[in-house]
Amino acid sequence: MRFSKLRLNGFKSFVDPTELVIADGLTGVVGPNGCGKSNLLEALRWVMGENRAKSMRGSGMEDVIFAGASSRPARNFAEVSLQIDNSERLAPAGFNDLDTLEIIRRITRDAGSAYKTNGKDVRARDVQMLFADASTGAHSPALVRQGQISELINARPKARRRILEEAAGISGLYQRRHEAELK
Ligand code: ATP
Ligand code: MG
């Protein structure tokens, strides 16, 4: 699965609809401090199902919604869409019927998050599992946050093991076993 496009609308500093085409090969994002580079990575993690406000550098999940600026009022919703090139049909079963897989997450003030894949309403868990199985999830070690390298060096063995499990793509299995045990 290859990410091909990220679209943001009302997400953090990206108040106006913004589209980032992710071409083949390496993509670099450069710009002055505070221009929104980390916000882009957070949008990627968020659309894949991130539910920890802390890793979005906020105190609550609604902090991802554009909070307003001197010349612009705050927004009431934020939406991020991620397009995945699925022409090689590598997406997990249930998401694998089209050449492009599009995942949309939208959050509205006081109404929480809603997800769609290819236009169909799905649960947060469906999206999280989709990426956990592809080992590219919101907590995937493929996404390295600012400051995360030093966190890794200082991590306890248990936390380090969790990172290896994410990389191996088996954390989705643990989640399913945990849910089965609760039933
Ligand atoms: P650096 O080079 O310092 O790492 P950066 O390019 O990674 O900077 P970001 O951290 O992505 O920058 O962007 C920070 C900007 O996003 C700040 O100006 C902050 O005010 C703005 N911002 C964050 N959340 C929101 C929000 N909810 N509404 C409006 N603006 C926001
Ligand atoms: Mg940054």
Alpha-carbon span 48 to 50, nearest angstrom = 6
Calculate mean pLDDT across residues 123-148: 78
Ligand number nearest CA of 29 is 1
Residue 42 CA, closest ligand 1 atom number = 11
Assess contact for 59 and 53: CB atoms under 8 A.
yes
Question: 125 pLDDT exceeds 80?
Answer: yes
141 annotated ligand binder: no
Give me the chain's average pLDDT, please. Answer: 90
- Delineate the domains of the chain, giving CATH numbers in brackets: 2-134 (3.40.50.300)
Position 147 confidence tier, pLDDT thresholds 50, 70, 90: confident
* Residue with CA nearest ligand 1 atom 30: 13
Alpha-carbon span 100 to 97, nearest angstrom = 9
Stated pTM of the model: 0.84
Calculate mean pLDDT across residues 122-127: 94
pLDDT value for 56: 87
Establish whether residue 150 lines the binding site of ligand 1, counting it when its CB lies within 6 angstroms of any ligand atom.
Answer: no
pLDDT value for 42: 94
- Could you tell me the two tokens for 182? 């609760």
- Does the interface ipTM go beyond 0.95? yes
* Residue with CA nearest ligand 1 atom 15: 34
Question: 136 pLDDT exceeds 70?
Answer: no
Alpha-carbon span 104 to 147, nearest angstrom = 28
Q: Candidates 9, 12, 56: which one to mutate for ligand 1, based on the most atoms within 8 Å of Cβ? A: 12
Position 108 confidence tier, pLDDT thresholds 50, 70, 90: very high
Residue 63 CA, closest ligand 1 atom number = 27
Calculate mean pLDDT across residues 59-72: 95
DSSP string of 20-56, one letter each residue: EE--SS------STTSSHHHHHHHHHHHTT---GGGG
pLDDT value for 146: 79
Establish whether residue 36 lines the binding site of ligand 1, counting it when its CB lies within 6 angstroms of any ligand atom.
Answer: yes
pLDDT value for 164: 79
